[in-house]
Amino acid sequence: MDDEDVRTLKAVFDRLIPEDQFGPSASKVGCLDFLDAQLTGGYGEASTLYREGPEQPHEEQMLQKAQFIAIPRERYRAGLQALRAYILETDGASFADLPPSRQDEILAGMEQGTIKLGMALNTGAFFELMLTNVREGYFADPYYGGNKDMAGWKMIGFPGARYDYRAYTDRTGQKLNLVPVSLVPKN
């Protein structure tokens, strides 16, 4: 990923999880660092996928779900490249420099299938990949580089990596105000 890709991704992530009264933005809590670490590791290489051929034209239809042999690292590269080319053509600019309302319009189009970034790219699936990963970064343990200050957990009221709730099992239906804890003491 080059600087322009990172700039685009930061802008996308911060529209998917923007800064507002509910909590900080995706990039503020480290979701880009999170993604970087994930793509460098086994996840980025799809080390768990069965990638043997032949690829059948009807795989997706039979399984009712998008199928990939391409690894996430490649999918990001191809997806961001296609996004860059698309915006250059439609708006003559970079995604990161567009006004938020236009950015949202493009993202919604990708999500709903009204925008196709290119023939070779499953645009909806690329959108889902980014949404999945930004949420992971926002809600995974801070150990993985995102969810700084456990902001994602504080937003919804998840107490984190606790291991014993026996003191609370009888207090059903009550607000417990538990302070979240992380696997790592400092983050």
- Contacting other proteins within 1-20 (CB under 8 A): 15-18, 20
Apex 38 CA angle, 79 and 81, nearest 5: 15
Binding flag, residue 113, other proteins (CB under 8 A): no
Min dist CB 99 to other proteins, Å, is 15
Q: Determine which residue in the list 51, 91, 93, 97 makes contact with other proteins, applying CB under 8 A.
A: 51
Q: Give the x/- contact pattern for other proteins in 156-185, rule: CB under 8 A.
A: xxxxxxxxxxx-xxx-xxxxx------x--
The first and second tokens of residue 112, run together, are: 């709903």
Binding flag, residue 186, other proteins (CB under 8 A): no
Binding flag, residue 101, other proteins (CB under 8 A): no
CA atoms of 64 and 144, how far apart (whole Å): 31
Binding flag, residue 32, other proteins (CB under 8 A): no
Helices 100-112 and 3-16, axial angle in degrees (round to 10): 80
Report phi then psi at 181, rounded to 5.
-130, 150
Number of residues in contact with other proteins under rule CB under 8 A: 59
CA atoms of 183 and 181, how far apart (whole Å): 7
Classify residue 160 as left (phi > 0), alpha (psi -120 to 50) or beta: left
Report phi then psi at 160, rounded to 5.
80, -150
Min dist CB 114 to other proteins, Å, is 16
Min dist CB 147 to other proteins, Å, is 9
Binding part of the chain for other proteins, among 61-69, 75-83, 88-96, 115-123 by CB under 8 A, reads 61-69
Helices 123-139 and 31-40, axial angle in degrees (round to 10): 110
Q: Which residues bind other proteins (CB under 8 A)?
A: 15-18, 20, 22-23, 43, 47-52, 54, 56, 58-59, 62-65, 67-69, 104, 107, 111, 131, 135-136, 139-141, 143-144, 152-153, 155-166, 168-170, 172-176, 183
